[in-house]
Chain A
Amino acid sequence: MQGGGDGVFRMIRYSDFNYSYGAVCALRSLNLEIGKNELFTVMGPTGSGKTTMLRCLNRLNDVVPSGRHSGSLYLDGVDVYDPRVDVTVLRRRVGMVFALPAVLPTSIFENVAYGPRRAGERSKAALSETVERSLTAAALWEEVKDRLGERAETLSGGQQQRLALARVLALGPDVILLDEPTSGLDPISTLRIEDLLRELSRQYTIVLATHNPQQAARVGSRVGFLMLGELVEVAEAGDMFTRPRDPRTEAFVSGRLG
């Protein structure tokens, strides 16, 4: 799972990709390749462009009127900004988990079943099976199997975040994006999510954005350091934290920056 340029199948490729909000440049000439079933961590201070980088991949940024992009961004060999791309289908293939677990105001079951239903699944049995499989994969099944009909808001923060993950998994995505998924969670819930991500990266391509260098180190995958829209350095976590090449990376990981 070394991903990147060494012959492994590439899932995501940013090629000279730029993104700006009006006059503010959020990403500048980003070049990055992420392999299939790789767990990639984007690390950087607040405002460095991590969220933009993620939100371009599923075109969630389309709703921002001032947003402009140039260059190309390939997912599985297809330019996601190709006019022929169906955004709805794209978003089913690229799931996203947010900093705030935005649970839908309905039952736990319906939260997970929502995506498949939208995609046209009508069979009750198939939905139940998908819900169970997704909740199990998100390590939530044991905790909620007896209360699937309860409202999702009654879950704890950590459980809600795993529910959000289950909801994404239910769509059978290729890629899962996580934007600061643990920023609102306590350390124990955070560790659970991180373990889960390592587990899930066997089957899915995962891009995790975090402002926390410790998290990047714990997750221990390939890490990209993003600052002011520029991808400063990409390295294995071990190298990044012990032998950073760029002085800015060194400053960030040692806590002198950001």
Chain B
Amino acid sequence: MSYRKEGSPFWRTTVSSGRVRSQGRTANERVVERVLFCCALTAVSALALITAFIFAEGMPELGRTGPARFVFGTTWSPSRGMFGVLPMIAGSVAVTLAALLMGVPVAVACAVFLAEMAPPRAGVLLKALVELLSAVPSVVYGFVGLTTLVPLIREWTGAPGFSVLAASVVLAIMVMPTITSVSYESLKAVPGSYRDGVAALGGTRWQAIRMVVLPAARSGIVAGIILGIGRCLGETMAVLMVAGNAPVIPTSLLSPVRTLTSGIALEMGYASGRHREALFGTAVVLFAMIAALNLLTRYVASKGAVFGGRRRPRDGSAGA
């Protein structure tokens, strides 16, 4: 049994312009390559089309109102032709920040427990359950929030209940699985020898976690948090159902609030003309925020594991 075809070399490559290029490609392989290339192209072109569409529809109104007045205008009144999205930007930011304040500590603590402290089998089981949370459709979160959380807040505070608080509690629960599972994976990726190292010095498990494991997993945890921010900014339905949706800058946790996404969802059904263009302008603003966030994620990810990726930078002779 030979892996070599008669007469044809098993491994024949030439190096041209720094790249190894395979010469012995079969027709079959070329077809597969083309098909995969087309699939990749589809995903990329979908993004390009969406971007082009949003900008084409949204830029005219941005130009008419003026980008600065559009972004920093505080009045959103389509009937009077006033389109300032600052209340919605403030709403999205407020809801996101409040959700992160509640969600991140719980999610990271949950990941630390599952990855470092729980008995292995329980850890795997619990993690599966946490991940199941993310399979629940967002409208269900919104519905539960609407029927339980909002009345609860109303009862406690006397306010209407549709508020920053309600939206951010719902979001905090929704982003938890994302942050937990990304953090969990990065904690699990920290080599066991680091924990042993601290234990062998007479350190406790908690000291090892605080001193070595968390710093080593930091970039992964931060990436998880950024993903969570994206989820908060992008979430529409659950927020729309509990936030009250008044287009004013929120002044307290109990103020009703409208986010960029729910603003679009609320009005797109009946908007036309300038109003419609203004909604696309809102989408441009949202798009810019999400794109900036994505760049941030890439930057954090490229920094790699805090000290995993470059363990022996000066050691030329060993390893390699």
Contact = CB atoms under 8 A, between A and B. Distances in A.
A91 B205 CA distance: 13
A105 B312 contact: no
A8 interface: no
A115 B160 CA distance: 56
B318 A185 contact: yes
A156 B312 contact: yes
B318 A189 contact: yes
Interface in A56-78: 58, 60, 63, 65
B200 interface: yes
A256 B194 CA distance: 35
A114 interface: yes
Interface residues of B, number: 30
Contacts of B315: 156-158, 186
Contacts, number: 94
Interface residues of A, number: 40
Contact of A60 (B120, B199, B313, B317): B199
Nearest to A89: B202
A167 B174 CA distance: 44
Nearest to A110: B211
Interface string A171-188: 100000000000011101
Interface string A22-44: 00000000000000000000000
B194 A119 contact: no
A205 interface: no
Nearest to B120: A65
Interface string B195-221: 011111111100100011001100000
A213 interface: no
Given A115-B202, A171-B201, A184-B319, A102 B196 contact: yes
The interface centre, meaning the residue of B193, B197, B313 with most chain A CB atoms within 10 A of its CB, is: B197
Given A157-B312, A157-B319, A158-B318, A58 B200 contact: yes
Interface stretch (A92-100, A128-136, A236-244): A92-100
The interface centre, meaning the residue of A92, A102, A151, A154 with most chain B CB atoms within 10 A of its CB, is: A102
A167 B194 CA distance: 14
A167 B215 contact: no
B63 interface: no
Given A118-B207, A160-B312, A104 B197 contact: yes
Contacts of B216: 105
Contacts of A156: 312, 314-315, 318
B306 A105 contact: yes
B200 A184 contact: no
Nearest to A58: B200
A167 B212 CA distance: 15
B311 A60 contact: no
A60 B200 contact: yes
B81 interface: no
A91 B201 contact: yes
Contacts of A160: 311-312
18 contacts: A65-B119, A88-B203, A91-B199, A91-B201, A92-B201, A95-B200, A103-B197, A106-B211, A114-B203, A115-B201, A153-B307, A153-B311, A154-B314, A156-B312, A157-B311, A157-B319, A160-B312, A168-B200
Interface of B: 119-120, 191, 193-194, 196-204, 207, 211-212, 215-216, 306-307, 310-315, 317-319
Given A60-B200, A186-B318, 4 more contacts: A114-B211, A153-B311, A157-B312, A158-B318
Q: What 9 A-B pairs come out closest when comparing CB atoms?
A: A102-B197, A156-B315, A96-B200, A186-B317, A157-B315, A92-B202, A156-B314, A115-B201, A91-B202
